[in-house]
Chains A and B, each alone.
Chain A
Amino acid sequence: MIVYFIRRFNLLVTTLFLLSLISFSLAHLFPGDAAINFSGQQSLTYQEYAKLTEELALNESYFVQYIVYMQRVVQGDFGNSFSSDASVLDDFMRVFPASAELSAYALILTAIVGLPLGLWAGVKRNSWIDKVIFSSATIANSIPIFWMGLLLMLLFSLNLAWLPISGRLNLLYEVPSDTGILLIDIALSNLDNKYQIYQDALRHLVLPTITLAILPTTILIGMMRSSVINVMATPYIKAAKTKGLSTFQIIRKHVFRNAILPIIPQFGLLFNTLMTSTMITEFIFSWPGIGHWLIEAIYQRDYPVIQAALLLVSSFMVVINVLSDIVHTLLNPLVRKEING
């Protein structure tokens, strides 16, 4: 077991090292001067520039430069944004909770919709209900998410005028940002019209959450379905059936739990899909999160931001992937046995 954790940890460290290497080399690969790309300070006097070059060790070998870069990264110094002149880390800390919040709700929605539907389809394999669920999942899977977002917007906001289309909250409401997670911030605030603000925040959430959840949901349905089909074919289910348990009891006691376990390591894949969709969803619904931030940074050729975003987002993804792997190991007795045995 310990060997397994050491291996995972080793993988994590190596991967993060490689990511930092890529991120480091970007500052040299991007157009323009490396000193400016690293620091984000554009209007420098000659002395300042010389001092900066010194600080970043740009006259030294790449190895030394990399060490200096890593020291800055560890201190949380990612330089300043070209366009806002604010610290990149501050900007990241502002946009990250917004993305995390949206992704979390989408993930919950995915689980709430995806797991039961996948289960249902799997249990009733090859029935019409399976076909309906499975083919709608395939169809939904083939709709480009940006088109889907547009269609939802067109229908629910512009034609029916039910829901707003942009941002997290009506901008006239001023909610102090303590945690960055809006629904918690509203609760913490001392505003007297909390009820209206909650309502407004939730109305803003509906369309982005649905848009974001569609793709992962279709994937989860597929995973759950095939996992359930595998479980249903196992001897212990047959045994349970011969014991005279009702289908419902079988599903409740055996199928659900056993079908979910093999899905957990694939959670990383689900999360990847979610992150990709987040970029586009945020762009369409002007949701002030990482995707929106990164895409604006590309429009503005804001290299320090792009560089930092790559490092931070992908490190985050790697950590999530490794974590889901470990969780799976801890939860699944079969895998545990394999590793120990």
Chain B
Amino acid sequence: MANNDIYNEIQYPGPYQLAWAKFRADHVSWVCFCIVIFFIIVAIFAPLVAPYSPTEQNTDYVLLPPSWQNAGDVHFLLGTDDLGRDVLSRLIYGTQITFGLSLLVALAAMVVGLALGALAGMSKGIRASVFNHLLDTILSIPSLLLAIVIVAALGPGLFNTIWAVFLVLIPQFVHRTRIAVQNEFKKEYVTAARLDGANDFQILISSVFPNIIETIILQYSLAVSAAMLDVAALGFLGLGAQQGSPEWGAMLAGSIDLIYRASWLATLPGVTMFLCLLSVNTVGHGLRNALKQRSE
């Protein structure tokens, strides 16, 4: 039926728009979302934003405090470390490593986890049972322990850390996807689609995925925060990013020796990491609330 009354067109917000509106209405989440976007921009454009290279040693300006202190220097906004490297630039490049890589690795894990999870959700019988057991095994090991063991096998280093975090994150996505897919497949609209002659794959793509995408996004926000914590923790323990890398955890570990003399070196990476984690977590919470409110 054609709609002739174009002036009184009633627009019903779609489910995504509805959730988005709910999300925006929550001010705290919205602010945190903006902070996350800010961090993403910083991570992408780090070389443009950072005033110096993260490894450039200005040996004439060693251990300068942040510029708001008397001994500070405006050229080095957040001061310099013991090798004369600009702390602000290091934090910015650190965003690229700790936060940026976490975003990417979580994304990669999501893609792989989604595929495996969908397979697991649709398969039945002995294969599914073996697969689920395997999953339970991996899920029952704490992620950091697993990452530590993987790093121990591969040898310390940032690259291996990323691998480890990637492997650690996959099972969680698989788990979530599997349960979501299984639930969806039980629903009547899937049966209806099946009666129309659609095969499993078509149902998955056109019916199930759009319905579980929100669960996955939620899981993604959790994964990013977990990835950041693991990357930073391994860096802090000296098993991840190499000594001297601007990775936040490694920066923190490197500055402990100077905690009396240059406390800002330990404070600033900590504060940055906290801010970033808090924003990611709050966005996750906000998303969950928005979805919940919509369904209510």
Binding site for B on A (CB under 8 A): 11, 14-15, 18-19, 26, 29-31, 138-139, 141-147, 150-151, 154, 268, 272-273, 275-276, 279-280, 283, 294-295, 297-299, 303, 306, 310, 313-314, 317-318, 321
B148 and A317 form a contact (CB under 8 A): no
Specify which of B140, B151, B153, B156 lies most central, judged by the most chain A CB atoms within 10 Å of its CB.
B140
Which of A141, A273, A297, A310 gathers the greatest number of chain B CB atoms within 10 Å?
A310
List 6 other contacts, CB 8 Å, given A19-B137, A280-B237.
Answer: A154-B259, A272-B140, A276-B142, A283-B237, A310-B145, A317-B140
CA distance A138 to B149 in the complex (A): 29
- Cα A321 to Cα B249 with chains together (Å): 30
Hey, which chain A residues are within 8 Å of B266, CB to CB?
Answer: 150
| Contact in complex: B145, A150 (CB < 8 Å) | no
Contact between A144 and B142 (Cβ–Cβ < 8 Å)?
no
Contact of A147 among B136, B148, B149, B270 (CB under 8 A): B270
Closest 3 CB pairs of A and B: A142-B278, A147-B270, A142-B277
Q: Are A15 and B133 in contact (CB under 8 A)?
A: yes
Complex: A298 Cα to B266 Cα, angstroms: 25
Cβ–Cβ contact A15 & B140, under 8 A = yes
| Chain A residues near B151 (CB-CB < 8 A) | 298
B residues neighboring A (CB under 8 Å): 133-134, 136-137, 140-145, 148-149, 151-153, 155-156, 225, 229, 232-233, 236-239, 249, 252, 256, 259, 266, 270, 273-274, 277-278, 281-282, 285
Q: Which residues of chain A have C-beta atoms less than 8 A from B281's C-beta?
A: 138, 141-142
Point out the residues of chain B lying under 8 angstroms from A299, CB to CB.
238
CA distance in complex: A50, B152 (Å):
27
Contacts of A142 in B (CB 8 A): 225, 274, 277-278, 281
Q: Closest CB of chain B to A326's CB: distance in Å?
A: 14
Given known A-B contacts A144-B277, A147-B270, A147-B273, A11 and B136 have beta carbons under 8 A apart = yes
User: Given A279-B145, A317-B140: A298 and B133 within 8 A (CB)?
Assistant: no
Q: Is the CB of B156 within 8 A of A276?
A: no
Q: In chain A, what residue has the closest Cβ to B228?
A: A144
Give B5 Cβ to nearest chain A Cβ, in Å.
42
A30 close to B153 (CB less than 8 A): yes
Interface centre among B225, B237, B266 (most CB of A within 10 A): B237
Contact A29 B233 (CB under 8 A): no
CB-based contact A26/B153 at 8 Å = yes
Residue from A144, A294, A303 in contact with B232 in the complex, judged by beta carbons closer than 8 Å: A144
> Which residues does chain B contribute within 8 Å of A146, judged by CB atoms?
232-233, 236, 249, 252
Nearest A-chain residue to B273, judged by Cβ: A144
Looking at the complex, which one of A18, A314, A317 makes contact with B133 (CB distance below 8 Å)? A18
Whole-angstrom distance between the Cβ of B187 and the nearest chain A Cβ? 21
User: Contact between A317 and B141 (Cβ–Cβ < 8 Å)?
Assistant: yes
Establish whether residues A272 and B142, one from each chain, have CB atoms under 8 Å apart when the complex forms: yes
A133 to chain B, nearest CB (A): 14
Complex contact B137–A18 (CB within 8 A): yes
Considering the chains assembled together, what is the distance between the CA atoms of A153 and B256 in angstroms? 12
A150 to B252, alpha carbons, bound, how many Å? Answer: 10
- Contact A310 B256, beta carbon cutoff 8 Å: no
Q: From residue A275, how far is it (CB to closest CB) to chain B in Å?
A: 5
Chain A residue numbers with a CB within 8 Å of B140 are: 15, 268, 272, 314, 317-318, 321
- Closest chain-A Cβ to B129's Cβ sits at a distance in Å of 9
Complex contacts, A154 vs chain B, CB 8 Å: 259
Cβ contact within 8 Å between B145 and A298: no
Known contacts A15-B137, A280-B233: does B270 contact A144 (CB below 8 Å)?
yes
Which residues of B sit under 8 angstroms from A276, Cβ to Cβ? 142-145
Question: Inside 8 A of B239's CB, which chain A residues have their CB?
Answer: 295, 298
**Chain A nearest CB, measured from B239 CB (Å):** 6
Considering the chains assembled together, what is the distance between the CA atoms of A144 and B230 in angstroms?
A: 10
CA distance A143 to B236 in the complex (A): 14
Q: In the complex, which of the residues A19, A147, A298, A314 contacts B156, with contact meaning CB atoms closer than 8 Å?
A: A298
On chain A, the residues within 8 Å of B149 by CB distance are 26, 306, 310
Please state if A314 and B141 are interface contacts (CB–CB under 8 Å): yes
Residues of A close to B136: CB separation below 8 A: 11, 15
- Complex Cα–Cα for A143 and B232 (A): 12
Which of B144, B152, B256 lies in contact with A279, CB distance below 8 A?
A: B144
Q: List 22 A-B contacts (CB under 8 A).
A: A14-B133, A15-B140, A19-B137, A31-B155, A142-B277, A142-B278, A144-B233, A144-B274, A144-B277, A147-B274, A150-B256, A272-B142, A273-B142, A276-B145, A283-B237, A298-B148, A298-B151, A310-B145, A313-B145, A314-B137, A314-B140, A317-B141
Residue of B at shortest CB range from A302?
B152
Q: How far is the CA of A154 from the CA of B256 in the complex (A)?
A: 11
**Residues of B contacting A297 with CB < 8 Å?**
152
- Complex contacts, B156 vs chain A, CB 8 Å: 298
A191 to B236 CA separation, bound complex (whole angstroms): 40
Give the distance in Å from the alpha carbon of A154 to the alpha carbon of B133 in the complex. Answer: 44
A144 CA / B144 CA spacing, docked (Å): 13
A19–B141 Cα distance when bound, in Å, is 10
Q: Taking each of B137, B232, B252, which has the highest tally of chain A beta carbons within 10 Å of its own beta carbon?
A: B137
CA distance A151 to B269 in the complex (A): 13
